[in-house]
């Protein structure tokens, strides 16, 4: 609408700046643009917050898997140690 008005009056120097309709239109467009920018900023914040929340949960999952692996290794070592002690005890009693 602004561009159309500028074209209809010939050039930008010929615009009547006291035109209320044009002033209202320009101010409402500016408000809509500001609201749009604010929405974009909120959306970026939400995405960033979602990624921050996702990262710790992923890290927790990885740590749980590592913990389970370490627990399995520890259990296997305990069984191996028990078998060695039984073999030593069996050789001590027989010999």
**Which of 26-65 are b and which e, b meaning 16 or more Cβ less than 10 Å from the residue's Cβ?**
eeeeeeeeeeeeeeeeeeeeeeeeeeeeeeeeeeeeeeee
Long-range contact set of residues 10-14: C-beta below 8 Å, sequence gap at least 24: none
Residue 49 banded pLDDT, cuts 50, 70, 90: confident
Look over the chain and give the mean of its residue pLDDT values, rounded to a whole number: 82
CA 69 from centroid of its chain's CA atoms: 29
The pTM of the full predicted model, rounded to 2 decimals, is: 0.42
* Tens-place pLDDT, residues 18-44: 778 877 887 888 899 999 999 999 999
Q: What is the DSSP letter of 15?
A: -
Segments making up each domain of the chain, as ranges: 2-94
């Amino acid at each position: 609408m602004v561009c159309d008005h500028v074209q209809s009056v010939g050039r930008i120097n010929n615009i009547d700046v006291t035109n209320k309709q044009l002033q209202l239109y320009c101010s409402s467009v500016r408000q809509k643009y500001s609201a749009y920018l604010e929405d974009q900023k909120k959306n970026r914040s939400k995405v960033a917050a979602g990624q921050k929340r996702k990262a710790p949960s992923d890290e927790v999952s990885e740590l749980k898997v590592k913990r389970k692996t370490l627990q399995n290794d520890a259990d296997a070592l305990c069984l191996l140690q028990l078998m060695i002690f039984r073999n030593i005890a069996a050789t001590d009693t027989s010999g």
